[in-house]
Amino acid sequence: MKQLLTLVLIAFTSTLFAQSKPFEGVLHYRISEHNAAGDIVVTGQPIGEITIHVKGDKLLMEIFQVSVYDMGIDTMDMYYFQDFSTKKSLIGMKMIDNLYCMEEELDEFPAGEFKPLKIKSKSIQGLSCNAADVVTTGLAEMEGAEGEKQISKVWYTNAYSCPHLFFGQFINVPGMVTSVEESGAEGTTSVIELVDYTAKPLREEDLQIPAKYKRVTYEELLELYPILDESFQN
């Protein structure tokens, strides 16, 4: 009986530790916008995609997003490299027909306050997920509404740990974020949800902004595109 109890305790302890396995591999999220009824808006299609390569404290995030205006459609394709151990951060972006890479402020988006929600768990891509609210102020401050709180409803899985996703805002979430929901104007909701993932070892080359992006300083970019300085001042 004592041996059986020991085996049960070992199995239970192993399960607990397995729930916090650090994720290494590739995560693929889809961005969509929903109306008050929960239906996808903007021609009924996703409006963007996010692919994240994760290895330890390093990640490379590519964001592709489509914006629909009265005058037409605009696309954005940007890279973010972030090393949370050294605080190094780079952004790769397209300016007209040129590709540039420059250093970025890693702490621009402060970590949010974690508030678990007592609602039923659900499965996202085969992963059992719990819900929580994460309260931040960083995005609101960037938009000129200093002190205004932004509440994001997140779903997360304890199968993996990956605290630095999405600029480190969700570092206090005790698991890997699989979905982020944020309220918008006129009852709409923006949703970023995991649609595919592959856990696998990555190379350092997998975590680098493509070499075709020319490395420049912020000052050099302003010299090339003076209109940027004017837009930041307005």
Residue 228 domain flag: yes
How many CA atoms lie less than 13 Å away from 123 in the CB half-sphere?
3
Domain count along the chain: 1
CA atoms within 13 A on the CB side of 28: 6
Indicate whether 162 pLDDT > 80. Answer: yes
41 and 188 in contact (C-beta within 8 Å)?
yes
User: What CATH number is given to the structural domain containing 186?
Assistant: 2.50.20
Contact 197, 125 (CB under 8 A): yes
Domain boundaries, position 71:
25-233
Note whether residue 2 is domain-resident: no
Q: Is residue 101 part of a domain?
A: yes
Using an 8 Å Cβ cutoff, are 108 and 124 in contact?
no
Coil vs helix vs strand at 182: strand
Among 86, 75, 87, 79, CA closest to 62: 79
What letter does residue 184 receive in the DSSP assignment? -
Tell me the per-residue pLDDT of 195-207, one tens digit each, with 9 for 90 and over.
Answer: 999 999 999 999 9
> At which residue do the structure tokens 């975590």 appear?
207
| Between 203 and 65, residue with greater pLDDT | 203
Asked whether the predicted pLDDT for residue 16 surpasses 50, the reply is no
Q: Name the burial class of residue 203, with classes exposed (0-12), middle (13-18) and buried (19+) by CB atoms within 10 angstroms of its CB.
A: exposed
Position 225 scores a pLDDT of 82
Give the model's confidence band at 17: pLDDT under 50 very low, under 70 low, under 90 confident, else very high: very low
Q: Which residue has the higher pLDDT, 146 or 22?
A: 22
What rounded mean pLDDT belongs to the chain?
80
Of the pLDDT bands very low, low, confident and very high (cuts 50, 70, 90), residue 94 is confident
The answer to whether the CB of 91 falls within 8 A of the CB of 104 is yes
Residue pair 107/136 in contact (Cβ under 8 Å)? The answer is: no
CA atoms within 13 A on the CB side of 47: 18
Kindly report, residue by residue over 32-61, the tens digit of the pLDDT. 887 766 666 655 455 789 999 999 999 999
- Domain assignment present for residue 145? The answer is yes
At 146 the pLDDT is 55
C-alpha atoms less than 13 angstroms from C-alpha of 170 in its C-beta half-sphere: 27
The token pair at 126 is: 């085969």
H-helix or E-strand containing 156?
strand 150-157
pLDDT digit string, tens, across residues 101-141: 999 877 767 788 999 999 999 999 999 999 999 998 754 44
Tell whether 175 is covered by a domain.
yes
* Residue 12 covered by a domain: no
Structure tokens at 65: 């997003």
For 221, what's the count of Cα atoms within 13 Å in the CB-facing half-sphere?
22
Say if 201 falls within a structural domain.
yes
Question: Is 5 within a domain?
Answer: no
